[in-house]
Amino acid sequence: MDTRNALSVLKNSVKKQWLFGMVLAVLAALSLIFMTGFAMFTNRVYVTDGSDVKCILTTESDISKILEDNGYAIGKDDIVKFDGFKDHEGEATILRAFGVDVTCDGSTKEIMIAEGTVADVLAKAGISVGDDDLVNIGFSEKVDDDTKIVIQRVTYEETTSETEIPFETKQIFSANLARGTQVVNCEGEVGTLQTVSRNTYIDGVLTKTEILSQVVTKTPVDRVVTVGSSLRAPVSTNAPEWLQLDANGAPTSYKKVLTGKSAAYSAPAGARTSTGKVAKIGYVAVNPNIIPYGSKLYIVSTDGKYVYGYAVAADTGTALMDGRILVDLFFDSYSASCKWGIKQVNIYILE
């Protein structure tokens, strides 16, 4: 039987006996008044203490005094609920304090409370909870003697770090260099990436890291390497970057190829070609009826052992016009021209 039912049964029992005992009580009270001067009971209080319910007849009106006189010990954390007397009758309920375990900041302590919510317990414990802290139970939840409150402190830390951004290596294939050789045009420089991160700690333990921002504070500089694509080291080294060679040493793009005999010549410094240009390596003599002046050429021996390289049709001569040779290649010295001699070549007409 719960305390509410027990209180109702007790009240009914008392009321049933009230009429019967009224006369006797009045007579007894009058007898006591006249014989002993003792005042009769004026108030009736129903006291609920847990599952125990009692009716107390008393002349007192102070509930604390009534409870003390009747052997009720009230602890400092207990609560007595009493709304006063109405028609000399009242109800008092004693709420006994119980312990609620609160774990926070590395320790657990027991908070005694008779009733209330999680928020009430924390307030009594003097524990403040930050907006980001974690609590295992809602603040408005009612507590009981099985409630265990756990608070986890959440803190944040922002860090700034720098990491290297590696540079890339770019290769430029050039017909001006022999295969197997390369020239470093730019060594390359690493860049720098600045990262701002936020670390989340729960009770001092790192649980999450998130990136807030990333900024490139130094842009990496690519390493640039020119790689030779010519079968051999060419005589003429002024080929444009757009000239690409295939695995056989031939241009990847050309209009047509002519095959024939080549010769070599040189001239004093400052000498001019038939087109008025100053003679230099890369300018070659042709029959303009076969290869028009200004044509861009790539010349290599048919056996691939010798490479003159990129050239421009800019001169002519008797042997070219009568068909004895297909092309006459300019060298910057007589000895170099003699070294070339007479060779069968492929002339790739590029434009």
String of DSSP letters for 206-249: EEEEEEEEEEEEE--B-EEEEEEEESS--SB----TT--B-TTS
* CA distances (Å), origin 38, targets 35, 57, 63, 178: 8, 14, 21, 133
pLDDT over 80 (residue 34)? no
Yes or no: say if 342 and 263 are a contact pair by the CB < 8 Å rule. Answer: yes
Report the pLDDT value the prediction gives residue 234, as an integer from 0 to 100: 97
Number of neighbours of residue 223 by Cβ within 10 angstroms: 17
**What's the fold here for domain 3-95?**
Ubiquitin-like (UB roll) (3.10.20)
Yes or no: say if 128 and 182 are a contact pair by the CB < 8 Å rule. Answer: no
pLDDT over 50 (residue 94)? yes
pLDDT band at 15 (very low <50, low <70, confident <90, very high): low
pLDDT over 90 (residue 41)? no
- Close Cβ partners of 314 (under 8 Å, ≥ 6 residues apart): 273, 274, 275, 277, 283, 284, 285, 293, 294
pLDDT over 70 (residue 23)? no
Buried/exposed 109-139: b ≥16 CB within 10 Å, e otherwise:
eebebeeebbebbbeebebeeeeebebebee
Q: Alpha-carbon distance 217 to 194, whole Å?
A: 6
Strands 343-349 and 296-301: antiparallel
* Domain regions of the chain by residue span: 3-95, 98-152, 156-226, 245-349
Q: Tell me the chain's radius of gyration from C-alpha atoms.
A: 55
Which of 25-34, 71-80, 103-112, 148-157 has the lowest average pLDDT? 25-34
pLDDT over 80 (residue 11)? no
Yes or no: say if 39 and 21 are a contact pair by the CB < 8 Å rule. Answer: no
pLDDT digits (tens, 9 = 90+) for 317-341: 999 999 999 999 999 999 999 999 9
Architecture of domain 245-349: Beta Barrel (2.40)
Q: Over pLDDT 70: what percentage of the chain?
A: 89
Number of neighbours of residue 91 by Cβ within 10 angstroms: 17
pLDDT digits (tens, 9 = 90+) for 277-295: 999 999 999 999 999 999 9
Q: Alpha-carbon distance 218 to 244, whole Å?
A: 34
Q: Does domain 156-226 have CATH number 1.10.10.10?
A: no
Q: Alpha-carbon distance 95 to 48, whole Å?
A: 9
CB burial class (10 A; 0-12, 13-18, 19+) of residue 82?
A: middle
CB burial class (10 A; 0-12, 13-18, 19+) of residue 348?
A: buried
* Across 104-132, average pLDDT: 97
Report the pLDDT value the prediction gives residue 40, as an integer from 0 to 100: 64
- Close Cβ partners of 219 (under 8 Å, ≥ 6 residues apart): 165, 191
pLDDT band at 79 (very low <50, low <70, confident <90, very high): very high
Number of neighbours of residue 11 by Cβ within 10 angstroms: 16
* Across 103-131, average pLDDT: 97
Give Dmax (Cα) for the chain: 170
The model's pTM is 0.59
Yes or no: say if 300 and 306 are a contact pair by the CB < 8 Å rule. Answer: yes
Residue 22, phi-psi category: left (phi > 0), alpha (psi -120 to 50), beta (remainder): alpha
How confident is the prediction for the chain on average, in pLDDT?
A: 91
Instruction: Name the nearest CA neighbour of 81 among 123, 57, 107, 45.
Output: 45
* Across 177-205, average pLDDT: 97
Higher local confidence (pLDDT), 13 or 80: 80
Angle, CA 332 vertex, CA 327 and CA 335 arms, to 5° = 90
Higher local confidence (pLDDT), 266 or 32: 266
Report the pLDDT value the prediction gives residue 1, as an integer from 0 to 100: 52
* Across 232-246, average pLDDT: 95
Q: Alpha-carbon distance 195 to 212, whole Å?
A: 8
pLDDT over 50 (residue 39)? no
pLDDT band at 351 (very low <50, low <70, confident <90, very high): confident
pLDDT over 80 (residue 28)? no
Reduced DSSP (H G I as helix, E B as strand, rest coil) percent helix, strand, coil of the chain, to 5:
15, 45, 40
